[in-house]
Structure 1
Amino acid sequence: MKNVFRQIAAFSLALLVLLSTMSFTVDMHFCGKTLVDYSFFDQVDSCGMEMMQPAANEECSVVVDNCCKEENIVVEGQDDLKISFDSLTFQQQAFVIAYSYSFLSLLEGDLKNKVPFGDYSPPLLIRDIHILDETFLI
C-alpha cells in the first residue's frame, strides 16, 4: 500500500512539473460570434470571408466591415526551475542538508531478514487434521 502511494505521489509531482513548465498557444478564427476553426500547432483556416482588396476605381468601391477576427491565447510556462545552492543562506543550506539526510535514512531498510518466530519450535503434530477433515489446498 505504501509503495502504491509513493508511485502515485511521484507520478503526480512529475505531472505537476511537466504542466507547469509547458507553454502552448491556441489560435482561434471567429466569423461573427461563431468559432470557425481552432489550432494548437498550426495556423488556423479562414472562413473565406476576409475583406477583398478594394477596386482600383474608387467610385464603385463598396466598404464592407470585416466580420472575421482571430484570437490567440498564449500560456507561458515557467522557465527558471533550477535554484542555485549558492543563493541560499547558511540556515537554509543547513536545513536542506539535515532534511535530505533524515529522509534518506528513512529509506534504508534492514539488510538481514528478521524472523519473529525463529526462537520458537513448532507445535507437535499429534494428528494430521487436514487428512482427518479431508480438506486439502490445491
Structure 2
Amino acid sequence: MKETLHQIVSVTMALLVLFSTMSFTVDMHYCGDLLVDYSFFETADGCDMNASPSGITDGDSVMEMDCCTDLEIVLEGQDDLKISFDQFNFEQQIFISTFYYTYVNLFETVDKNLISFKEYSPPLLIRDIQILDQTFLI
C-alpha cells in the first residue's frame, strides 16, 4: 500500500512539473460572434471574409468589410527551474552537504540477527554439573 501511494505521488509530481514548465498557444478565428476555427499547434484558418469586395468602390477609397477577428491565447511555462549548486555560498553548501549526509545515514538499516556473544568463546568445563546433580532432561 505504501509503495503504491509513493508511486502515485511520484507520478503526480512529475505531471505537475511537466505541465508547469510546458507552454502552449491556442489560436481561434471568429467571424462575428461565431467561432469558425481553432488550433493548438499552428495558426487557425480564416474564412476569407477579410478580403475587400472588388465590385464596391466609393470614389478612390475601397470599402472594406472586416467582421472577422483572430484571438490568440498564449500560456508561457516556467524556464527557471534549474538551480545550480554554485549559486550558494560556502556556508550554505556545507549545511546542505551535512544535512544530506545525516539524512541518508538516518535511515541506515540495522541487522536484526545481531549476536552479541559471537566473538566470545564458551567457558571452560571443569565438571559436568548435570551429572553431579543428577538432573537430566527427558
Separation in 1 of the partners of 2:95 and 2:29? 52
Cα root mean square deviation, aligned: 3.0
Paired AA for residue 101 in structure 1: Y
| Structure 1: gaps (5+ residues) | 115-138
Query: Closer, same or farther in 2 for the Cα pair 1:97/1:37, shift >3 Å?
Result: same
| Structure 2: gaps (5+ residues) | 115-138
Separation in 2 of the partners of 1:84 and 1:20? 20
Identity in percent: 50
Separation in 2 of the partners of 1:97 and 1:45? 56
The answer to whether the Cα contact below 8 Å between 2:23 and 2:76 also exists between their aligned partners in 1 is: yes
Please say if 1:52 is aligned against 2:72.
Answer: no
Secondary structure of the structure 1 residue equivalent to 2:86: helix
Paired AA for residue 73 in structure 1: I
Q: Which residue of 2 aligns with 1:6?
A: 6
Query: Closer, same or farther in 2 for the Cα pair 1:99/1:37, shift >3 Å?
Result: farther
Query: Closer, same or farther in 2 for the Cα pair 1:113/1:75, shift >3 Å?
Result: farther
Deviation of 1:50 (Å): 1.4
Secondary structure of the structure 1 residue equivalent to 2:25: strand
Paired AA for residue 80 in structure 2: D
Query: Closer, same or farther in 2 for the Cα pair 1:15/1:7, shift >3 Å?
Result: same
Q: Which residue of 2 aligns with 1:131?
A: none
Secondary structure of the structure 2 residue equivalent to 1:26: strand
Separation in 2 of the partners of 1:3 and 1:109? 18
Paired AA for residue 30 in structure 2: F
Per-residue deviation, residues 89-111 of structure 1 (Å, max 9, x unmatched): 34533443244334433555456
Q: Flag the structure with larger Rg.
A: 2
Deviation of 1:69 (Å): 0.7
Please say if 1:104 is aligned against 2:114.
Answer: no
Q: Which residue of 2 aligns with 1:20?
A: 20
Query: Closer, same or farther in 2 for the Cα pair 1:105/1:60, shift >3 Å?
Result: same
Q: Which residue of 2 aligns with 1:71?
A: 71
Query: Closer, same or farther in 2 for the Cα pair 1:56/1:91, shift >3 Å?
Result: same
Per-residue deviation, residues 1-35 of structure 1 (Å, max 9, x unmatched): 21112111111111111111111111110111111
Deviation of 1:40 (Å): 0.7
Query: Closer, same or farther in 2 for the Cα pair 1:107/1:63, shift >3 Å?
Result: farther
